[in-house]
């Protein structure tokens, strides 16, 4: 509960700081830069390094990959039917296609299922959401941003230079290497800044007046993220593969989380309809509190 209060406080504080003009208008750019270049790499190195993996945990790790691929397949044609711009379409697919498996997901797992299951959420986030974001998310962001379409080589080079991706590869490569205690402590402290600073940045950029004209795109993104996406994961894992147990149950629960804050940061950093990116998170997080409660009871027998 304390984690959720912290996130809510930072989100509201960001809105208050913008309204009172206590921070410059471009403050979000500096906040986002810190998250991308320092916070997210530290998170990957701190938690992914040395993690013991079990075969069943692949169910959790694969969930974000499936969600993201299905988002592109389903959202793209609907966005074209609605006449959404290229940047708006990219924003809906990127932010609506990735779940907030860490900032909201891990605290929610602790609250609903208990701390002994939090490791499942960490696996889903670091081996799923973070890698999908670092590889395919940044590629999609570059491909759908306004302006000249980048060449494949440019997208690949941008991905290879993306700090969270580099940190993820480094963490996996250094699995058998023990970090000094001081380094691990440093990484943990830096990783702990990601959630509050990200919510502060989102709150700072959120303008509820932007809802006008964004309703179709906002509804499309949140409907997929909170309802359709997790329902498809349920259909695949439970209906098609006949899987069950706590890992499966919590993987589906993680799929139902609100849109990913880091994905919104990447969308804004690449000018993919920044007002919509903030709305997807700013509106999606409070709504998810109610939809997650429903999903928790629905998944009780899985």
Instruction: Please provide residue 41's backbone torsions phi and psi, each rounded to the nearest 5 degrees.
Output: -60, -40
Q: Is 21 exposed, middle or buried (0-12, 13-18, 19+ CB in 10 A)?
A: exposed
Task: Tell me phi and psi for residue 259, to 5 degrees.
Answer: -55, 150
d(CA 234, CA 251) in angstroms, rounded, equals 9
CA dihedral (279, 106, 252, 219) in degrees, to 10, reads -10
Residues pairing with 99 in the sheet: 259
pLDDT, one tens digit per residue, over 89-99 is 999 999 999 99
Q: How far apart are CA 128 and CA 207, in angstroms?
A: 30
DSSP H or E segment with residue 216: helix 215-223
Q: How far apart are CA 47 and CA 53, in angstroms?
A: 12
Q: Are the C-beta atoms of residues 244 and 238 closer than 8 Å to each other?
A: yes
Q: Which domains does the chain have, with CATH numbers?
A: 26-197+214-301 (1.20.1530)
Q: How confident is the model at residue 148 (pLDDT cuts 50, 70, 90)?
A: low
How far is residue 18's CA from residue 256's CA, in Å, rounded to a whole number?
30
Model confidence pTM above 0.95: no
- Cβ atoms 171, 49 nearer than 8 A: yes
pLDDT digit string, tens, across residues 253-291: 999 999 998 899 889 888 999 999 989 988 998 899 899
pLDDT tens per residue across span 272-281? 999 999 899 8
HSE-CB of 256 using CA atoms within 13 angstroms: 25
């Amino acid at each position: 509960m304390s984690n959720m209060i912290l996130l809510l406080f930072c989100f509201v504080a960001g809105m208050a700081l913008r309204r009172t003009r206590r921070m410059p208008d471009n403050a979000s750019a500096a906040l986002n830069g810190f998250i991308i270049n320092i916070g997210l790499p530290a998170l990957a190195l701190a938690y992914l390094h040395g993690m013991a993996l079990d075969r069943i945990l692949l169910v959790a790790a694969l969930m974000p990959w499936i969600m993201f691929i299905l988002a592109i397949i389903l959202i793209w044609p609907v966005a074209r039917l609605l006449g959404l711009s290229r940047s708006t379409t990219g924003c809906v697919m990127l932010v609506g296609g990735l779940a907030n498996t860490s900032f909201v997901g891990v605290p929610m797992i602790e609250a609903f299922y208990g701390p002994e299951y939090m490791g499942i959420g960490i696996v889903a986030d670091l081996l799923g959401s973070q890698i999908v974001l670092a590889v395919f998310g940044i590629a999609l962001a570059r491909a759908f941003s306004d302006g000249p379409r980048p060449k494949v080589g440019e997208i690949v080079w941008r991905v290879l230079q993306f700090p969270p991706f580099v940190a993820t590869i480094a963490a996996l490569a250094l699995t058998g290497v023990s970090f000094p205690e001081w380094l691990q402590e440093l990484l943990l402290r830096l990783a702990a800044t990601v959630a509050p600073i990200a919510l502060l940045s989102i709150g700072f950029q959120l303008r509820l007046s932007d809802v006008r004209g964004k309703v179709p795109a906002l509804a499309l993104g949140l409907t997929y993220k909170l309802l359709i996406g997790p329902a498809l994961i349920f259909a695949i894992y439970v209906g098609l593969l006949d899987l069950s147990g706590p890992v499966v149950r919590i993987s589906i629960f993680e799929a139902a989380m609100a849109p990913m804050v880091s994905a919104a940061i990447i969308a804004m950093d690449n000018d993919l309809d920044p007002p919509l990116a903030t709305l997807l998170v700013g509106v999606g997080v409070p709504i998810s509190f109610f939809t997650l409660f429903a999903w928790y009871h629905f998944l009780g027998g899985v």
